[in-house]
Amino acid sequence: MKVSLTVNGSAIETEILPLLRLSGFLRDVLGLTGLKEGCCEGECGACTVLLDQKPVNSCLMLAFQAQGHEILTIEGLGKADITGLQQAFLDVGAVQCGYCTPGMVLAAEGLLRANPCPDEGEIRHGLAGNICRCTGFETIVQAVFSESAVRQGMGR
């Protein structure tokens, strides 16, 4: 079947198998391997992408369901350079093995787009669908706080 969608700002039209997951389409067809298919049951969040600005698990969505929608993966977040949010993750050491990081960053980006000034509880609630087994989450929360302050003009 045919699907037309926008991925990282580029219009794409292609033939796909009906039961191809969005995660498989992005990784195996388009080569966007930043997202990871960790658990394939909505627990780990490593496959998180933004669908029309909102975080979703790309492993729990069929690719044809993205027809007409806009998808943002980690590769499209900062095309020329890394974004301030990604820099904040680096600055506070919120990246260790890196497996969860693309999904974590996109979940955080979705949170900040919906709620530019989250408190700690809102950050933890907003990132609850992303599991990190290295950092212990403290530095990730710090990174999101830091980027939230920058976006409100309060500096890092």
Partner 1 sequence: MMPLAIAVPADVAELRAAIVSSMNPVRFLAGGTDMLIAGRALPEAGLLIDITRVADMAFISTDGSDICIGAATTVATVASHPGLRARLPALCNAAAQCGSVQIRNRATIGGNIANAAPAADLMPVLTVAGALLRLIGRDGMQSEILLGDYTPAHGLITDVILPGAGLLRRSAFVKLGPREDLAISRLNLALLADFQNGCFGAVRIAAGALSHAPLILSFAEAALSGRKLEAAVLRDFLSTLAAEVDAAIPGRNSQLYKRRAIAGLGLDLIAQALGLSPRDRLFEEAVE
Over its C-alpha atoms, the chain yields an Rg (Å, rounded) of 15
Least distance to partner 1 from the beta carbon of 110, Å? 7
Cβ atoms within 10 A of the Cβ of 85, count? 21
Interface with partner 1, residue 13, by CB under 8 A: no
Cβ atoms within 10 A of the Cβ of 18, count? 9
Q: Which of residues 55-94 bind partner 1 (CB under 8 A)?
A: 55-57, 59-62, 64-65, 67
Least distance to partner 1 from the beta carbon of 148, Å? 16
Least distance to partner 1 from the beta carbon of 83, Å? 20
Distant-in-sequence, close-in-space partners of 51: CB < 8 Å, separation ≥ 6: 61, 66, 69, 70, 71
Interface with partner 1, residue 153, by CB under 8 A: no
Measured from the CB atom, is 8 or 58 closer to partner 1?
58
Angle among Cα 43, 47, 60 to the nearest 5 degrees reads 65
Measured from the CB atom, is 18 or 155 closer to partner 1?
18
**List of E strands, 31-137:** 48-51, 54-57, 70-72
Q: Would you state the structure tokens that stand for residue 142, as one six-digit string?
A: 């710090």
Least distance to partner 1 from the beta carbon of 124, Å? 7
Least distance to partner 1 from the beta carbon of 153, Å? 26
Task: Report the C-alpha gap between 88 and 85 in whole angstroms.
Answer: 5
How many chain residues interact with partner 1 (CB under 8 A)? 32
List contacts with partner 1 (CB under 8 A). Answer: 1, 18-19, 21, 39-43, 45, 48, 51, 54-57, 59-62, 64-65, 67, 107, 110-111, 124-126, 128-130
